[in-house]
Amino acid sequence: MGRHRREVLATLGAFALPLIVPRQAMAHVKPGNRDVLLVVDVQNCFLPGGSLAVKDGDAVVPVINGLAPKFRNVVVTQDWHTPGHASFASTHAGKKPFETVQLHYGQQVLWPDHCVQGTEGAELSSALKIPHAHLVIRKGHNPGIDSYSAFVEADGVTKTGLAGYLKERGIERVFITGLATDFCVAWSALDARKAGFDVIVIEDACRGIDLNGSLAAAWKDMEAAGVERTHSAEIM
Ligand code: VGL
Ligand code: ZN
Q: What share of the chain is helix, strand, coil (3-state, %, to 5)?
A: 35, 25, 40
Among the listed residues 158, 155, 148, 129, the one whose alpha carbon sits nearest the alpha carbon of residue 189: 148
CA of 30 to the centre of ligand 2 (A): 32
| H or E segment and range at residue 165 | helix 162-168
Q: How far apart are CA 40 and CA 59, in angstroms?
A: 14
Q: What is the pLDDT of residues 206-226, one digit of tens each?
A: 999 999 999 999 999 999 999
Cβ atoms of 178 and 39 within 8 Å: the answer is yes
Ligand 1 pocket, CB under 6 A:
41, 46, 79, 111, 148, 179-180, 183-184
Mutate to test the pocket of ligand 1, among 39, 40, 44, 46 (most ligand atoms within 8 A of CB): 46
> How many CA atoms lie within 13 Å of 161's alpha carbon, on the beta-carbon side?
8
Q: Give the residue numbers annotated as catalytic, written as ranges.
A: 41, 139, 184
User: Which atom of ligand 1 is least distant from the CA of 185?
Assistant: 7
Report pLDDT for 68. 98
Tell me how long the chain is.
Answer: 236
Report pLDDT for 177. 99
CA of 17 to the centre of ligand 1 (A): 45
> How do the domains of the chain map onto residue ranges?
2-82+112-234
Residue nearest to atom 9 of ligand 1 (CA): 148
CA of 116 to the centre of ligand 2 (A): 9
Residue nearest to atom 4 of ligand 1 (CA): 184
The topology under which CATH files domain 2-82+112-234 is Rossmann fold (3.40.50)
CA of 25 to the centre of ligand 2 (A): 39
For 29, residues 6+ apart whose C-beta sits below 8 A from its C-beta are: 200, 230, 234, 235, 236
Report pLDDT for 8. 46
Residue nearest to atom 2 of ligand 1 (CA): 183
Ligand sitting nearest the alpha carbon of 46: 1
Q: How far apart are CA 152 and CA 77, in angstroms?
A: 13
Mutate to test the pocket of ligand 1, among 39, 41, 45, 87 (most ligand atoms within 8 A of CB): 41
Report pLDDT for 18. 53
> How many CA atoms lie within 13 Å of 127's alpha carbon, on the beta-carbon side?
14
Q: How far apart are CA 78 and CA 67, in angstroms?
A: 19
User: For 108, phi and psi rounded to 5 degrees?
Assistant: -125, 125
Report pLDDT for 27. 82
| Residue type at position 73 | N
Alpha-carbon dihedral 177, 109, 162, 220, rounded to 10 degrees: 50
pLDDT less than 70: residues of the chain: 1-26
Dihedral sign computed on CA atoms, order 156, 57, 38, 126 = positive
CA of 79 to the centre of ligand 2 (A): 5
Q: How far apart are CA 33 and CA 228, in angstroms?
A: 19
Cβ atoms of 184 and 111 within 8 Å: the answer is no
Among the listed residues 21, 15, 138, the one whose alpha carbon sits nearest the alpha carbon of residue 81: 138
